[in-house]
Amino acid sequence: MPERAQAPAAFGSRLTAAIAERGRLCAGIDPHPALLEAWGLNDDVAGLEYFALTALEAFAPVAAALKPQVALFERHGSRGLAVLESLLAHARQADVLTIADAKRGDIGSTMAAYADAWLGEQSPLAADAVTLSPYLGYESLRPALDLAAQTGRGIFVLGLTSNPEGASVQHVGDDRSVARRIIEAAGADNRHEAPEGLGHVGLVIGATVGNALERLDIDLAAAQAPILAPGFGAQGATAADLRSTFGSAWSQLLPTSSRGLLSAGPHLGALRAAAEKSRDELA
């Protein structure tokens, strides 16, 4: 009889191992035009490629994950997406997790196509995880939720963001806020797939949400979700702020820094030192 194919390692366990080995920093790769200029690069595909691969080389050994901002590659068209494909391939060779910050969200066959693009085994854009928007309803993400579980990949669902406009949607609700409903739905999926430890359904929770978690009566620890927390560093959140905000969910946390690290470029040594400093602050 042919051997049964080995099931892929679950995303939650892979992320837990990466944090144990390299610390809990997630390094953003955000090729903003202003950063390209600050690095002395042209705002073109050649500059984009140099920026992305230099950041990868600097951050891969000292970050649990890398998070390329998809829109900043898309703005260069098909050649920009080719750079993103190359970045993801090089990251796999460097054995560092990647989170495609795409924030996709749709229904039916369109959502299934997005899932296949970012999580499918044969896709050149497949990352270890992708960010998704649940505001067509959490269950609209089901094609991606299921495919991620099958392939050992993860998703990060926008749960509670720190932008001022977010509260008009996420904080609304008679008995439970929209944000709490989404976070509880993610927790139900995680407990089903992984009764212990981190599940494959992560959450995006802004590092600067302040006391919103307490006010909305949200229990992040119960969700067993990896928590991607943008806002550490240049956006103002310190390691002490993160410990205060996330409390008992600290062990689930993957704080993200982008501009705070990338502004140290273009020299590889300075980029690596900035990442090491941020990583050590989170220890």
Residues catalogued as catalytic: 103
Helices (H) and strands (E) in the chain — how many of each?
A: 13, 8
Distances (CA, A) of 117 to 111, 114, 127, 214, 250: 10, 5, 9, 36, 31
Report residue 91 CA to chain centroid gap: 15
Q: Which helix (H) or strand (E) holds 103?
A: strand 97-104
Any idea which residue has 């085994």 for tokens? Answer: 121
SS3 state of residue 250: helix
How many Cβ atoms are within 10 Å of 117's Cβ, its own excluded?
A: 17
Any idea which residue has 């497949």 for tokens? Answer: 126
Please give the structure tokens belonging to residue 216: 């909305």
Among 245, 211, 229, 54, residue whose Cα is nearest residue 159: 229
Q: Count CA atoms closer than 13 A to 104's CA, side-chain side.
A: 24
Q: Count CA atoms closer than 13 A to 199's CA, side-chain side.
A: 28
